[in-house]
């Protein structure tokens, strides 16, 4: 693997957070390696020439101005050459059907169109190719996205080995992670195994504190009034989810600290904004663009200033116990402590530990909040939907002796489970899932071969709306999955429901999220009446979703009305 330090910045050793000053790792096949190979000698030659010139500041400044005036032209030429290479080169993939134009420059314009018309383009490709080749591609501004569609091809993608396709490589392409978060995160996303090994397996230990925090958050943010109270839906849901999740991630009192919660929720916006801007440019320009637009380093500094001392104190205590072989009696049991322990084992810095905590905030908060807001809009638009869920929760409450938050109580909520699964089927938070990057040529049973270095993804929304799987697939039927076995529960991954991915790399945090969302919906139907605040769509109409590329975002401005449940 060739490593080139952009602008002469040194590569930081393992264990050092390289965010904001990261080394550019030239591991992209095709165009990126080609351009780095071609451009680096010119960069070195230019540097040497400038150094040999007059040492006076005025002469050097004049020389710089003389060279700089050509940079816009050089960048424009480089961009055009890249577009041609992306079409004519080995990764042009002209043998794979295209939605939109595949011609140079026009493909880039189609990629810009994809940022606003992804839904139409993905559904169009699925309708044409899901049951033929099972493979098609759509243009994004920075590269092709190859879509895997249809049951046979998705099953084949699910079964591909890690030496054929990379899960983390796919996530890297989706988020531009190495440019925004640093290469260290891409190479060792050690927070993800902790989700499965620690969080999911020990979820029972956190049921009590999650319920306590959620109930308190509802009282603080919505209250229990006999009068209708209007709240901004997505913002309020995000606040409740953030407090409940962080009761497990960092504990009290930090999970209620407004400043910390602002950092935890805004990291999602930082990554989303940075990713959107960076992905408008071809790969060889991304490192430079990232240095201009990446907002994550600033957020990390704020986070470290706030919780860095806590991390340092915990790490010092953990290392002392390890050295002295003694027990830590009042050892915190939260996700931050697990990150500290893992950081000690791996030799990572405290700054790195805080970065990985922010990554957990990113993956846990925004997806859960958007998923629940999608569901809340259905409930608020049709108040009759509350009846079967309310009856179910009341019966469970009696069976469980008043403990709504126990694992057995939540597992009995079949109507609530079906409601959430159907909402996720109709909306989801992303139109594609099972993100992978090919490491070698992979051939599907339809005969289509995808070359190495290609971003692959499965068509989630189109699969969920496929009439082959579901009758009246475009109609919201909240009780569609009631009465079916556990193979059709909210967290299950099946051929017709791929919102959480598939196979061994399916979302490891889905059990945590499902418990949280089911408990939240149960609390609402038990204690509140809800309805939509009239908006542009009219009275009792569910607000429309907003699509930004693959992302499916519930209306960010809609308000929902809450009041204390009316008793008959």
Task: Point out the annotated binding site for heme.
Answer: 507
Among candidates 110, 340, 238, which has minimal Cα distance to 554? Answer: 238
Burial call 110-138: b when 16+ CB within 10 Å, e when fewer: bbebbbebbbebbbbbbeebbbebbbbbb
Instruction: Label residues 199-222 b or e (16+ Cβ within 10 Å = b).
Output: beeeeeebbebbbebbbebbeeeb
Binding-site residues sit at 507
Q: Is 444 left (phi over 0), alpha (psi -120 to 50) or beta?
A: beta
Which DSSP string corresponds to 233-288?
A: HHHHHHHHHHHHHHHHHT-TTGGG-HHHHHHHHHHHHHHHHHHHHHTTS-GGGHHH
Q: Distance (Å, rounded) from C-alpha 171 to C-alpha 151?
A: 22
Q: How far apart are CA 345 and CA 334, in angstroms?
A: 17
Map residue 330 onto helix, strand or coil: coil
Backbone angles phi, psi at 413, to 5 degrees: -85, 75
Q: Which tokens go with 170?
A: 């796919």
Tokens of 350: 């405290």
Token pair belonging to 164: 């054929």
Residues 369, 241 contacting (CB under 8 angstroms): yes
> Which residues share a beta bridge with 145?
138, 455
């Amino acid at each position: 693997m060739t490593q080139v330090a952009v602008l002469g910045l040194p590569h930081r050793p393992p264990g050092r957070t390289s965010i904001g000053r990261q080394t550019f790792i030239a591991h992209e096949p095709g165009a990126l390696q080609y351009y780095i190979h071609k451009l680096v000698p010119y960069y070195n030659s230019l540097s040497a020439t400038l150094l040999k010139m007059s040492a006076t500041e005025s002469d050097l400044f004049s020389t710089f101005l003389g060279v700089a005036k050509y940079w816009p032209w050089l960048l424009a030429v480089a961009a055009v050459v890249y577009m041609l290479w992306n079409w004519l080169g080995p990764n042009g993939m002209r043998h794979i059907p295209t939605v939109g134009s595949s011609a140079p420059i026009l493909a880039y314009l189609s990629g810009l169109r994809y940022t606003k018309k992804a839904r139409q383009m993905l559904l169009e490709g699925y309708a044409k190719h899901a049951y033929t080749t099972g493979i098609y591609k759509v243009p994004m501004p920075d590269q092709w996205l190859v879509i895997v569609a249809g049951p046979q091809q998705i099953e084949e993608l699910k079964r591909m080995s890690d030496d054929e396709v990379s899960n983390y490589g796919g996530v890297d392409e989706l988020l531009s992670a190495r440019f925004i978060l640093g290469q260290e995160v891409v190479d060792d996303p050690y927070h993800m195994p902790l989700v499965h090994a620690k969080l999911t397996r020990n979820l029972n230990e956190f049921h009590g504190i999650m319920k306590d925090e959620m109930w308190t958050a509802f009282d603080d943010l919505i209250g229990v009034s006999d009068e209708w109270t209007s709240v901004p839906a997505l913002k309020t849901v995000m606040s409740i989810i953030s407090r409940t999740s962080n009761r497990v991630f960092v504990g009290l009192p930090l999970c209620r600290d407004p400043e910390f919660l602002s950092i935890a929720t805004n990291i999602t916006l930082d990554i989303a904004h940075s990713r959107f801007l960076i992905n408008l440019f071809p790969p060889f320009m991304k490192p430079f663009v990232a240095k201009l637009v990446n907002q994550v380093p600033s957020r990390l500094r704020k986070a470290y200033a706030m919780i860095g001392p806590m991390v340092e104190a915990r790490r010092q205590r953990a290392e002392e116990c390890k050295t002295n072989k003694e027990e830590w009696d009042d050892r915190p049991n939260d996700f931050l402590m697990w990150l500290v322990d893992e950081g000690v084992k791996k030799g990572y810095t405290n700054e790195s530990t805080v970065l990985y905590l922010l990554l957990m905030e990113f993956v846990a908060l925004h997806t859960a909040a958007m998923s629940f807001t999608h569901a809340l809009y259905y409930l608020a638009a049709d108040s009759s939907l509350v009846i079967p869920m309310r009856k179910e929760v009341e019966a469970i409450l009696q069976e469980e002796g008043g403990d709504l938050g126990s694992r057995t109580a939540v597992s009995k909520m079949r109507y609530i489970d079906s409601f959430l699964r159907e909402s996720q089927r109709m909306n989801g938070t992303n139109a594609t899932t099972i993100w992978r990057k090919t490491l070698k040529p992979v051939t599907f049973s339809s005969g289509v071969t995808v070359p190495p270095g290609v971003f692959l993804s499965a068509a989630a929304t189109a699969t969920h709306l496929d009439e082959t799987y579901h009758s009246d697939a475009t109609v919201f039927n909240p009780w569609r999955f009631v009465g079916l076995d556990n193979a059709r529960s909210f967290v299950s991954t099946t051929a017709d429901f791929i919102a959480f991915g598939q196979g061994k790399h399916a979302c490891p945090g889905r059990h945590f999220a499902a418990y949280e969302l089911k408990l939240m919906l149960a609390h609402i139907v038990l204690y509140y009446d809800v309805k939509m605040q009239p908006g542009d769509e009219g009275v009792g109409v569910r607000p429309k979703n907003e699509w930004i590329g693959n992302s499916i975002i519930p209306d960010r401005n809609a308000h929902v009305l809450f009041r204390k449940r009316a008793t008959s």
